[in-house]
Structure 1
Amino acid sequence: MIIVLAVALAGAIGGGVGTAQAEGNQGSGGSYDRQLLFYNHSFGVFDRETADAIEHSDYLREFANFQVRTTTGSGGQIWTGRYLMGRETYLELLGIGDVPGQDGTLGSAGLGLSVERAGELATVKERLKAEGVAEPIDFLQTKDFGDGVPVPWFDAVLTDTQYDAFDAWGMEYRAEYFADPRSNTEPPSFPGDVGRERYLSDDYRTHLMRDVTAVRIAVTAGDLADTVPLLRAGGFSVRTVTGGGVVAEGGGTTIRLDVVPREQTGYRQVDMSLNRPVKDRHVERIGNSTLTVGPGSRAVWTFAENGTNGTTR
C-alpha cells in the first residue's frame, strides 16, 4: 500500500537479516513499556523481468497465499501488486510503473507497521513527539471495492512526506473496513481488535509460507533518519550496525535497513517461517531473485541490487 504519494495527491544480509554486529547501543530503542507497532507488510519495486516472473510463477502460488490485484486508494491512486500473504504479515511486490510517480521507480520500497488494538496509534503519535517529530503527519487511506465509493481502510501516521526512495508509516485499521463484508476479514478476537491476524485470511494454512520473520532493505541516509523515530516510537529495539544502518527487533519480525546511495536502494532479503518443516532444500530462480526453501522451517528470498545482477550485497 503506497502512502506518501497518496498523501501528496490528497493535498496534505551475507548473513541473515538479524545477524549483523552492533557497533554499540548509542541511540538504541526499546525504552517504552510495551511494543505498539508491529511489522505489517513491506513493498518493493523491481525490474520488469523480476516483477513479471513473480506474477507468473507457478511455484509461488503453491508456496504462499498468492494474489495479483489492482487497488484504488485515496485520491483515486491506483496500483497493481503481487502479494504473498501469511498469518499476520505479507509482502507487496511491484514492478516499475505499477504505481505512478516516485513510488513506482526501480529500488523504491516501503514499510507498514501496525497496531493491534484500537486507539493505540494515538499513543504512537505522542511517542513520536517525544522522539523529536514535532508534527507527525496524519493520513486516512481508503479503498474502493469497485462501486466508486471509498471505504475508510486505515489511519496512518508519517514522520515526513519528503523522501528519496523509502517511506515508512504507522497504521491502524478502521472499524468501517472490518464491518464491510467485502473485506473478507475475521471477527474480533477481543474488544478493540484491529490486528493483523484479523485482517488477513486463513488461506495461508494450505500453503508453506506462514509469516515474514525478517526483512533487509537498502535505503538512503536521509530516509533512514526519517524512519528511526517511528521504529523507536513503535517500541522496537533499534541498534546501529556497521555502515551506519540499523537493526530493529521486536514482535517477531527483524527489520534491517542498510545505508546506500540512491542508485543502490531496494529490497535485499526476506526471511519467512513455514507452516511445516520440509526435508529437502528447494531453490527457485524468479527473475533477478532467488527463493530458497528449506531444509527445515525457513525460507530465504534474496534480490539482486536493482535487478542488475544475480547477487546481493
Structure 2
Amino acid sequence: MVMSRALGRRILVLAAVLAVALTTAVVGAPGRAGAAAHHPWPGRQLLFFNHAYGVFDRATADAIEHSDYLRDFANLQVRTTTGAGGETWTGRYLLGHQTYLELFGIGDVPGKDGELGAGGMGVSTEHAGDLQTVIDRLPAEGVPDPIPFQQTRDFGDGVPVPWFDSVSTTEQYDTFSAWAMEYRPEYFADPRSGTAPAAYPGDVSRDRYLPDDYRDHLMRDVTGIELAITRGDLDSTLPLLRAGGFVVRAGAAGAVAVRGGTTIRLDAVPVDQVGLRRITLSLNHPTGSRHTETIGHSALVVGPGPRAVWTFATT
C-alpha cells in the first residue's frame, strides 16, 4: 500500500507540461531555479496528506513490529511489498481512516532510502484528473520540468498491476522527498486490492483506498506530523504542497503547511539531524486518562481526550 520513493524514479515517464501564467505573484522560495513565484491558487484543495514514512534504529523498528499495545491501539500490519522493477520493501503500517504511517528499520528499504533518518511523504488527490492540474501548476511554482512516474504492485503472481500515477519536483534529494499521487482505476478494479466501490464519479480517494478496520481500534487519523529535513529537501517539497492547495507558511527555520485536516511541519536542519520527529493522531473516541507507552526509542502518549502524540528520539 505504499511507495518507496526511489523506486518510481527508476521508471520515469517523460512528459511535457504546460506553463501556467497568472497575474498575482509573491516572492519565490530560496533554492529554486528561476526565482519561483507563489500563487494563491483558487478553489478547492487538490492534494491531501496521504502517508509519511521514516527509517528508525533497529531496536525501535522491532519494538513497533512486536508491540501488543500498538496492535490494540491501531490497525497495525507488517508486510513486504513488491513494486516496480521487482524491488521489495518491508514496512510496519499503521492504517487509519484516510491517512496512514509507514515505519521502517535500517535496511528495510533499498539503498540510501533505508538509512537511519531517511523519510518521505505522499500527498494524494481525491478526484481523478486533479494530479494533472497539479502538474500544470508546478512551472509557476518554479518547477519547469516535473518528473512524472507510475508505480505498480505485484500481488504475488509476477504480474504488475498499475497502482498509482505520481509526480515529484526533482530526482536530487538528500534524505527526504515528497511526491503527489493519484490512484489508478486498474488498482481499484483488482479484487485483491481490497478497496471499496466508488462513492462518486472519479473517486480515487484515500477513504476508498484504505480498509475500514480502523473502526476496531483507537487510532483514527494523522492530524499532525513533524519532520526534520535538509534545506535542500525542504525547497524541493514546498512547490508541490503549494501547487496542491496547501497554505504554506515558510521561514528561516522551516515551514508549516495547513489545510485538509493534517498539519505538516518541516524543520530545516543539518543532514546529521534529519528524521521523523513527532506525529499527532486523532482517536475514534476520547480517553478519560493519560497512557504513555515506550516503544523502542519512542514514546506514544494517548489521551486524555481525543488525541495521541507519538515522539521519536533524535538520531
Task: Give the alignment's TM-score, normalised by structure 1.
Answer: 0.91
C-alpha separation between the residues in 2 aligned to 1:32 and 1:163?
Answer: 30
Aligned to 1:90: 100
Q: Please point out which of 251, 260, 267 is paired with 2:269.
A: 260
Aligned to 1:7: 8
Aligned to 1:309: none
Q: Please point out which of 60, 64, 70 is paired with 2:80.
A: 70
1:209 matches 2:210: no
Q: Please point out which of 243, 253, 256 is paired with 1:244.
A: 253
Q: Residue type matched to 1:225 in 2? A: D
1:156 matches 2:166: yes
Deviation for aligned residue 1:132: 1.4
Aligned to 1:273: 282
SS of the residue corresponding to residue 280 of structure 1 reads: coil
- For structure 2, the residue ranges without an aligned partner over 5 or more in a row are 14-25, 29-37
Aligned to 1:51: 61
Higher RCO, 1 vs 2 (CA within 8 Å, ≥6 residues apart): 1
Q: Residue type matched to 1:5 in 2? A: A
Deviation for aligned residue 1:2: 3.8
SS of the residue corresponding to residue 10 of structure 2 reads: helix
Q: Residue type matched to 2:6 in 1? A: L
1:288 matches 2:297: yes
C-alpha separation between the residues in 1 aligned to 2:267 and 2:9?
Answer: 26
Deviations 1:24-75 (A, max 9, x none): x966765332210000000000000000000000000000011000000011
Deviations 1:101-124 (A, max 9, x none): 010000001000000011110000
C-alpha separation between the residues in 2 aligned to 1:26 and 1:77?
Answer: 41
1:38 matches 2:48: yes
* Alignment root-mean-square deviation, CA: 1.4
Return closer, same or farther for 1:158/1:3 CA change in 2, 3 Å cut-off.
farther
C-alpha separation between the residues in 2 aligned to 1:303 and 1:173?
Answer: 30
Deviation for aligned residue 1:129: 1.5
Q: Please point out which of 128, 142, 146 is paired with 2:138.
A: 128
Q: Is the 8 A contact 2:12 2:147 kept in 1?
A: no
Q: Please point out which of 136, 144, 168 is paired with 2:154.
A: 144
Q: Is the 8 A contact 1:26 1:240 kept in 2?
A: no
Q: Residue type matched to 2:53 in 1? A: F
Deviation for aligned residue 1:244: 2.4
What is the count of residue pairs matched by the alignment?
293
Q: Is the 8 A contact 2:12 2:149 kept in 1?
A: no
C-alpha separation between the residues in 2 aligned to 1:181 and 1:125?
Answer: 30
- For structure 1, the residue ranges without an aligned partner over 5 or more in a row are 13-24, 307-313
Task: Give the alignment's TM-score, normalised by structure 2.
Answer: 0.90
Q: Is the 8 A contact 2:12 2:148 kept in 1?
A: no
Q: Residue type matched to 2:11 in 1? A: A
C-alpha separation between the residues in 2 aligned to 1:264 and 1:97?
Answer: 19
1:299 matches 2:308: yes
Aligned to 1:225: 235
C-alpha separation between the residues in 1 aligned to 2:213 and 2:71?
Answer: 12
C-alpha separation between the residues in 1 aligned to 2:8 and 2:304?
Answer: 43
1:103 matches 2:107: no
Q: Residue type matched to 1:167 in 2? A: S
Deviations 1:204-254 (A, max 9, x none): 00100000000000000000000000010010000024x420000010000
C-alpha separation between the residues in 2 aligned to 1:202 and 1:29?
Answer: 37
Q: Residue type matched to 2:72 in 1? A: E
